[in-house]
Structure 1
Amino acid sequence: MHGTASIYGFLAAGGLLAVTPGPNMVYVMSRSIAQGRTAGLISLAGVMLGYLFYMFGAAFGITAFFLSVPYAGAVLGTVGAAYLFYLAWQAVKPGGRSPLEVRDLPREQPGRLFAMGATTSLLNPKLAMIFLSLLPQFIDYQDGNVLRQSLVLGSSLIVAFASVNAFVAVCSSNMASFLAGRPGLLLAQRWTMAAVLAALGAHMAVDALKLGGIA
């Protein structure tokens, strides 16, 4: 791995993305609000399968494929930026809802909660983007032990994401109840989330242009 400053940069970027709402967080949050914290934690267990899939996929060669295909990184970055802009628009569009607003979801059995969490995670473009584009940038390929570096960095990301989502699963119901009668705070939360997502999307778009040799 690169120097200490670079590792801190990786952890800072990963931590920021961990607290940015995405499909996994919204799913865990919705289940926790609609069915209780136990359902949220079971859903999170399924979500973690996706984390492990992408970590081992990156460690054992998916990353090498993207690095070897011309402009693959730029294309992936562009798609990721577009997805973040889409999430930002979903947060503030007319009729949009905060992920903390209570949803009327049908109750599901633990096995289905786990399976739905795994499916949501595996199909999550944000997760794919992080492990396939962010992680490789912090690997020192001159060091010679790429697998070990990938697993160490990937594990630190998984810990960050799992910790944030576990907090969401435990606290969502209380937060939703607190905000239920405070539409002003819900609106502020939506716009703050949209601003963060748009800023990340803009940063990723610039990086994608650099990878493509445009900027």
Structure 2
Amino acid sequence: MIAALFSFAIASLLIELTPGPNMTYLAVLAAARGRVPGLAAVGGVALGLTLLGALAVLGLGALVLEHPWLYQSLRWAGVAYLLYLAWEAWSDSRKPIDALSPDGSNWRYFRRGLMTNLLNPKAALFYITVMPSFFTAATMREAILFSAVYVVVATGIHAGVVLLAGSVRPLLTAPQRRRAMGWIFALLLLGIAVWVAMASAR
């Protein structure tokens, strides 16, 4: 099982290095708001991955695939949420930077990281279709172990993205640059929303 676990960790690393909804949102958030809000969102994403893994282990993920209306509801809710985040990135870039000061809590960003991941059909499909192909024995213990490895690998990648993206924030404080980056961030999130809608179509 060690060899299978190692192969799965490498596969998880390669998959997480591919840009997707989580990576794009975290990079946009860290570049616009800073590393601390970004890391709070990383915590939310990690919890979301853990919950999705638990649902997959319990067999609820397969239930979603068996009922098209459940899958489509998840899919379009995720697309709608990404579109909302794109609008927010654009509108926030038009506000004075003082108006975006933290309210004393990063709970808001933690919640958004959680929601972004729970409404990501690609993450759910990974647990249901990709992860089981690495199992050496279809046991509850093995499923939990593989899920934990994926969460650790993904969280490490996400934290790295936030730290790198947060380093460019001081360059974006000028109003003209913030407005330009607001357009770029909004278009990135819009592109990811379209990609999710197309890639998750059944």
Tell me the TM-score normalized by structure 2: 0.65
Task: Say what the alpha-carbon RMSD is for the aligned residues.
Answer: 4.0
The residue aligned with 1:87 is 82
Per-residue CA deviations over 1:47-82 (Å, capped at 9, x if unaligned) read: 3332342343344x3113423425467434552345
Aligned partner of 2:55 among 48, 62, 67:
62
The letter of the residue matching 2:124 is L
The residue aligned with 2:145 is 148
The residue aligned with 2:100 is 105
Question: Quick one: structure 1 residues 193 and 105, their matched pair in 2 at CA, closer, same or farther if it must change by over 3 Å?
Answer: closer
1:169 equivalent in alignment to 2:166: yes
Per-residue CA deviations over 1:79-115 (Å, capped at 9, x if unaligned) read: 2345325634874x7x981766664224433xx23x3
Deviation of 1:125 after TM superposition, in Å, equals: 3.7
1:116 equivalent in alignment to 2:112: no
Equivalenced residues, count: 188
The residue aligned with 2:131 is 139
1:15 equivalent in alignment to 2:23: no
Unaligned runs of 5+ in 1: 33-39, 210-215
Question: Quick one: structure 1 residues 120 and 156, their matched pair in 2 at CA, closer, same or farther if it must change by over 3 Å?
Answer: same
Question: Quick one: structure 1 residues 181 and 15, their matched pair in 2 at CA, closer, same or farther if it must change by over 3 Å?
Answer: closer
- Provide the identity percentage: 10
The residue aligned with 2:38 is 44
Tell me the TM-score normalized by structure 1: 0.62
Structure 2 Cα separation of the partners of residues 171 and 62 of structure 1: 37
Question: Quick one: structure 1 residues 148 and 182, their matched pair in 2 at CA, closer, same or farther if it must change by over 3 Å?
Answer: closer
The letter of the residue matching 1:180 is R
Deviation of 1:45 after TM superposition, in Å, equals: 3.9
